[in-house]
Amino acid sequence: MPKKEKKRLQVVISDEQDALLTKAAYELSSAERLVSKSEVVRLAIEKISAELENSSALEPLLRQLLAEEKDDDE
């Protein structure tokens, strides 16, 4: 997928989330190709978007996770 030149979002993530991104990038990498954490995020965004377009099954789960995250912030 070609990269678009856009201003990047700066999102604060927890150490646990960073560790999960690192683990996912490591697992997707091979001797021939290293996968960056940014690529993992882009893939996740595409996957979430496709799932929301094709099925509503994921939407309630994501809404619940977002509500729990909001409650934790308060």
Dihedral Cα 54, 59, 60, 62, nearest 10 deg: 140
The 10s digit of each residue's pLDDT in 16-46 is: 999 999 999 999 999 999 999 999 999 999 9
Query: What's this model's pTM, rounded to 2 decimal places?
Result: 0.73
10 domain residue, yes or no: no
- The mean pLDDT of 47-73, rounded to a whole number, is 85
6 domain residue, yes or no: no
Domain that holds residue 51: 17-26+35-73
By CB atoms closer than 10 A (0-12, 13-18, 19+), residue 24 is middle
69 domain residue, yes or no: yes
**How many angstroms from the chain centroid is the CA of residue 53?**
17
Structurally, the chain folds into a number of domains equal to 1
